[in-house]
Amino acid sequence: MIFMGTPLAGAFIIEPERREDERGFFARTWCEREFTAHGLNPRLVQCNISFNKKKGTLRGMHYQAAPYEEAKLVRCTRGAIYDVIVDLRPASPTFKQYFGVTLTAEARNALYIPEGFAHGFLTLADESEIFYQMSEFYAPDYAGGVRWNDPAFGINWPAPVQVISERDAAYPDFISPEEGPDHEHH
């Protein structure tokens, strides 16, 4: 596997290292030892898929709060997505910054997302499917989100949003811990 850092501390793009022959190729997409060697969380407790019928479907920006924060490995197994993460760790030097990358079935690339990040994606093709590997069990009482178009993050999505759930569209403005609930937005 090829681990490439991103501008956000602890987040990596991971590409398979192909071993090709006349049959095609073989590549490893996950290895506990390699993840540990790169300082990534190797815990794996659940795998999920997300199938999306239409291009322009946005899911996100989701996270799980402490003590059930999740590290995720996200791969697009059919179609293409623009995958986005936002650093929500107040002590991080990249707090409130976002990073986006196109993941495609053809490229077979993946994004490793550390604990403390919000995650979402926009489908770039009809019938796109995403495969998630999770470090923590789903805890609905600790699930939260930030709005995909919140000016606090300034995410530059590459295409218009055509489909979004009511829940994802209705997340309130993000308030930084240092701002507190009494901070006024203008």
Point out the catalytic residue in the list 62, 63, 112, 171. 62
> For the segment 86-130, what is each residue's pLDDT rounded down to a tens digit?
999 999 999 999 999 999 999 999 999 999 999 999 999 999 999
Question: All domains of the chain, ordered by start, with CATH?
Answer: 2-19+26-169 (2.60.120.10)
Peptide bond into 42 cis (omega under 30): no
62 in catalytic set: yes
- The secondary element (H helix, E strand) that includes residue 60 is strand 58-64
Q: Hey, CA dihedral for 137, 28, 111, 35, is it positive or negative? A: positive
**Which of 109, 155, 148 lies closest to 130 in space, CA to CA?**
109
Neighbours of 153 (CB within 10 A): 20
> For the segment 1-32, what is each residue's pLDDT rounded down to a tens digit?
999 999 999 999 999 999 999 999 999 999 99
Point out the catalytic residue in the list 38, 68, 132, 142. 132
> For the segment 62-79, what is each residue's pLDDT rounded down to a tens digit?
999 999 999 999 999 999
- Using a pLDDT cut of 70, give the percent of the chain over it: 95
pLDDT at 133: 98
